[in-house]
Each structure stands twice: as C-alpha cells, then as structure tokens.
Amino acid sequence: MPEHGAPGRLRQILSYGRKVYGLDRLLGGMRDGRKKPRVPTDLVVRILLLLGLLRIRSFNALDPRLAEVGMQRALGLSCGERKASSVDTLAYSLHRAEVGTFRSAVVSMVKQAERNKVFREGWHGAMRVAALDGWEPHSSRSRCCPACLTRKVTVNQVEVTEYYHRYVIALLVDDGVEVVLDMEPILSADVRQELGAKGVTGHEGEQTAAKRLVRRLKETYGGWVDVVVADALFGNGPFLTTAAQSGFGTVVVLKKETDEPLREALALWQGKPPNQVVEDEKRGERVELWDCPGIETLSSYDGPVRVVRAVVHKAGKKEPSTWCFAVTGKATRLTAFQVMKVGRGRWHLENTGFNQWTQHWRLGHVFTHGPRALQALFWLFFLAFNLLQLFAYRQLGGYGRDRGKDATKTLRRLVDEMMGDLERFDLPFAWNSS
C-alpha cells in the first residue's frame, strides 16, 4: 500500500494496536443490546476509541468530525459523503453496552503485554505493584441515573444533595510503563437492590468496592501482581485480610497515631534513633527509616504487620515529611527504603492517572449519563490510555527513563501528532483485515 511520506502517528499507533494487541479482535468482542443496529457495534466502538485516543472533548465536538474525510478513513470507511454515525447513536449504544465485554478488551491487552514481557521483572525487589484508590470523575446537583451516589453538601449555608459516581481503580505502577488493570464502581442503594441485596439501607462504602476489586484482581491476573499499595483509608484489618486471602502483599499508608498498629510502633520507637539512614542523591533526599516487624496489636487482622516510618529531609526544605506504612505478606521482603518508594508509588495513580484523565482526557466531562454508558466509555478510554502508554514505552526510545516529572508530556505530544495525522489520512485504515 503506498504511503505519502513517513507513516503518520495515528496510522502507526492503530497499526501497532492491531499487530501487537489484536485491536480488531478486542473491539470486535464488545457488545451492546441494540436489535438490528444500522451502525454496527464494531464501528461505534471504533469511533469511541478514536474519541479517547484523540481526546476530543465532547460529543458536540465530535459530531462535525464524523463527516470529515480524514476521520472516516481512520475509521476504515471509504465514502466520505455521510456522517459515519450520529452521536445519538453512539449514546444509544453506550446505554445498552454489555460492560463486561468492554472490560475484557482492557484485560486482554494487559495480559498480552505481560506475555510480551513488557513489564519485565517488576519494580522494586522484583515485585509488581498495583496502586488502588477511589476516583470520582464528576458530580452534579441533579440526579441522572439509578447508579448515582448521593451526599449532603452545604452551599451558601443551605444543605443540598450532590450526585456523583465513584470507582475504585487499580493501576499497575512502575518506573517504566503504567496501565489500568481494573475498575470497580461503588454501588448505589438502587443498584444494590436491583442486584438482589437484602435489607439495603444505603450506598455501599468504598471499602466494600475495593475488597471486591482486590479479589477480582487475583481472579483476573493470578499471581502476576504481587503487592497492593493504597492510601490511609485502607489501613484497616478487614482490607489487609482480604488482600492477604487473595495472596497479595500490601503497603498501606498509616496516618492515625492512635490506631493500631501504628500506636504500638510509635511506642516502641519512642526516643530511639532510626534503624537506617539512606542518602538518596538522585532525589536530593536524606531518608531516616524506622522499621518494626511482627506487630500483632491489630485485632481485626490475623497475622503480623510490619510498620515502617520514613522521615524524608529534602535539600532546601526546612520541614521534613513523615510517612508511615503497614506492610504485610510478601511485601515484607522489601527493604524499608523500598517500602517507602512503593508507598510513594501510589502517587502515580494520581499523577499518571486521575489528574491526567481529568485535565487532558476530560474524563470528568459527562459524554452521556447512565450506569452502563459511563462504565463502557471509561473502559474504552482506558483501552486508549493503555495503548498509548504501551506504545510510548515500547516504541519511543527513552520514554520510561526520561519522562521525568511530567509523565503526561509525551502522551500529549502523541495526541497532537495523531490529530495532525487525521487530516493527512489518505487511504482508509485497514481494520478487520489481516
């Protein structure tokens, strides 16, 4: 097939996705419940994947583009006379999405990356780490669907109800490449009732969704993920127990000095010098580490908990910052310094994930509102996000090493290049052909 000039970025990334990850097959497995649709589902999801890859900010912005020649060719269409689809059709399909089939595409891509040895031996101490945290892409004052969660907020001294959706996300964190592993919604009272729960008195808590996610991480990825790292909200016995039962080690932030096992560790450390001091020249930090294995004072967890405290002195900063972590299971094989690094790794979920998704991927924008639609679209966006991460890491030299503080810069450039390429797309992209 003749190419005018060097292959453009969008064509290159789509080809990479097809060749390495079977993108046709992944999109082809996505299903919705429409009967005899005029626009086939594989075209709908192809459009939505491009919506994600190109970070088009809304359905309104997408709409005129669906009539453009470049866009149609990127979708593999040759006509160019009519719109590829209306945005209403996209929304209609999303509201009937079989969400599990959308999730499967993301899982398949991650598993293929694992088989291709993308993630190598793991981050610290040869362990693979998944960061877990709650994510709330949007909230509003009007209820839109039965899956909306609610809370009371005070605005100008008046109490009003706020509606929102919240998910627990698992991101593989690493020095090189970071991909979304899984997502679990926090279920509203209505959805719980619909699912047959008895005696429902309210929405479920973030802990409940997180525990479900931890169990599913194990079912989905087996023993390939070693350690779960999470925020202080998860520094409790029931969460640590679920993680242990699923075979995960944990590194979880501890904040409350009056709660076990931190209370006991602090008492034991009282007036004692650090066990170890590490000079981290690369980061310009001196780290004092206190390390206490085998604390058994957390009554809701059946087993020893190691507690690590890191006091980080940064050059040029007067006040040090202090971090405490509970460490269980195989994560106890990490050195205290590695525990701190893994513990700080959960920030990647905020920087690589949440902040970037809201700022640059506009995932906070509600394209269309509904329990299935929101989840299906997020899964497609995560597929686009993971594909870009994997492409950048494997195909662009030095991405992992040099992305420095702003992990999002390279991806933003890629998106600009893809957008530019869209106008130069001169032949229909060969979707669904070998």
Binding site for Zn ion (CB under 5 A): 144-145, 147-148
Q: Which is nearer to Zn ion, 324 or 377 (CB)?
A: 377
Q: How far is the CB of 154 from Zn ion (least distance, A)?
A: 22
* Residue 86 phi, psi (nearest 5): -90, 155
CA distances to 42, 152, 374 from 100, in Å: 16, 32, 13
Least spacing, CB of residue 336 vs Zn ion, in Å = 44
Shortest gap between Cβ of 59 and Zn ion (angstroms)?
A: 17
Cβ closest to Zn ion, residue 185 vs residue 345 = 185
What's the rounded Cα separation, in Å, for the pair 393 and 388? 8
Question: Between 13 and 191, whose beta carbon lies closer to Zn ion?
Answer: 191
- CB of 147 or CB of 287, closer to Zn ion: 147
Nearer to Zn ion, 68 or 190 (CB): 190
Min dist CB 147 to Zn ion, Å, is 5
Question: Minimum distance from CB of 149 to Zn ion (Å)?
Answer: 8
Nearer to Zn ion, 375 or 410 (CB): 375
Q: Are 45 and 410 in contact (CB under 8 A)?
A: no
> How many Cβ atoms are within 10 Å of 199's Cβ, its own excluded?
5
Which C-beta is closer to Zn ion: that of 145 or that of 419?
Answer: 145
Smallest distance, Å, CB 162 to Zn ion? 12
Helices (H) and strands (E) counted in the chain, each on its own, are: 17, 10
Cα–Cα dist 421/416, whole Å: 9
Strands (E), 231-383: 249-254, 276-280, 285-295, 305-314, 321-328
Alpha carbon 318 to chain centroid, angstroms? 34
Structure tokens at 393: 């890491």
Query: In this structure, what token pair is assigned to residue 183?
Result: 């997502």
By beta-carbon proximity to Zn ion, the closer residue of 77 and 144 is 144
Can you list the alpha helix ranges (DSSP code H) found in 80-163?
A: 87-95, 99-115
H or E segment at 411?
helix 409-423
Give the C-alpha separation, 200 to 188, whole Å. Answer: 10
Both structure tokens of 100: 């599990």
Query: What's the min distance (Å) between Cβ of 377 and Zn ion?
Result: 13
* Residue 410 parent element (H or E): helix 409-423
- Considering the complex, what minimum distance in angstroms separates the CB of residue 404 from Zn ion? 38
Percent helix, strand and coil across the chain, each to the nearest 5: 45, 20, 35
